[in-house]
Amino acid sequence: MKAPRVLVLRAPGINCERETHFAFQRAGGAPEFVHVTQLLAKPDSLFDYRVLAVPGGFAYGDDIASGRVLAQELKARLGDRVLQFLDRGGLVLGICNGFQVLVRLGLLPCTRGKLEEEVTLTHNLSNHYECRWVTLQTQKSRCVFLPAGLTVRWPAAHGEGRLVPKDDGLARVLLDEGFAALRYVDASGAPAQHYPANPNGSPNAIAGLTDRTGRVLGMMPHPDRSFLPTHMPNWRETMRQQGTMPEDGDGMVVFREMVKVARADG
């Protein structure tokens, strides 16, 4: 079967495009870098791809607010094409700053199928950027490619990752109706409400969201920095216990499963 084409978006300030590209390639996808200027020059070229990936970084410096300027640009120039992209079977991944962009764009959680901002990702309660490994549990969610029930360790590296829904009603919907795809958990496996297991103070420990269709996934922590075995902070211990280096790091599951579904749908 043909490797599904993956559009890895570039823009001024996006800076995780190379590792995202490599992870998709390693998973059997056919990733291509596309600069936002190229995409907006031919907006319909979006439909040539099976997967749209918005990598992490500081798009346009995160000026005004994280992800705001790029989201604004995509909204103004791509319009509803992103929704049509999902209708046509496309999948979307947003990591860290990419997640912030999708949230500002209104593509996540998109509970009503309209591009409107329902949640925000705002300043960590510490009010500064922080880089640390966190433990996450994949939830039983709408997401069509992320398996539920996995406990994984990925690094978080952000200053604005506190996920705040617009009201209590939506907060319940996110948890009860399968929009919360990833949550921070503590050593016992319970949702973590306290620092540092929950690095930013997100209510309900939500680290990642999917949308109504389950074809979009966004998260603050980085599977793109944890897909190789040597990425994991404890690879030496694993090697001592197992005698060999494992094949993958914890983040690889996202890229493998996404490519698998994109290929099956293609």
Q: Does 30 bind other proteins (CB under 8 A)?
A: no
Cβ within 8 Å of residue 198, ≥6 positions away:
134, 184, 192, 205
User: How many helical (H) and strand (E) elements, i.e. helices and strands, does the chain have?
Assistant: 8, 11
- In this chain, which of 42, 112, 140, 166 binds other proteins, going by CB under 8 A? 166
Q: 155 — phi, psi (to 5°)?
A: -85, 140
Looking only at residues 93 through 132 of this chain, which bind other proteins when binding is defined by CB under 8 A? 117-120, 122-132
Nearer to other proteins, 81 or 235 (CB): 235
Nearer to other proteins, 140 or 236 (CB): 236
- Of 148, 142, 156, the C-alpha closest to 109 is 142
Q: Contact, 152 vs 185, CB < 8 A?
A: no
Give the nearest distance from C-beta 145 to other proteins in angstroms: 21
- Of 95, 67, 194, the C-alpha closest to 154 is 95
- In this chain, which of 227, 250, 253, 255 binds other proteins, going by CB under 8 A? 227
Q: Which residues make up the interface to other proteins (CB under 8 A)?
A: 10, 12-13, 15-16, 18-19, 22-23, 26, 35, 37-38, 56-58, 60-65, 68-69, 72-73, 76-77, 117-120, 122-133, 155, 157, 164-166, 195-196, 222, 224-225, 227-228, 230-231, 233-237, 239-240, 245
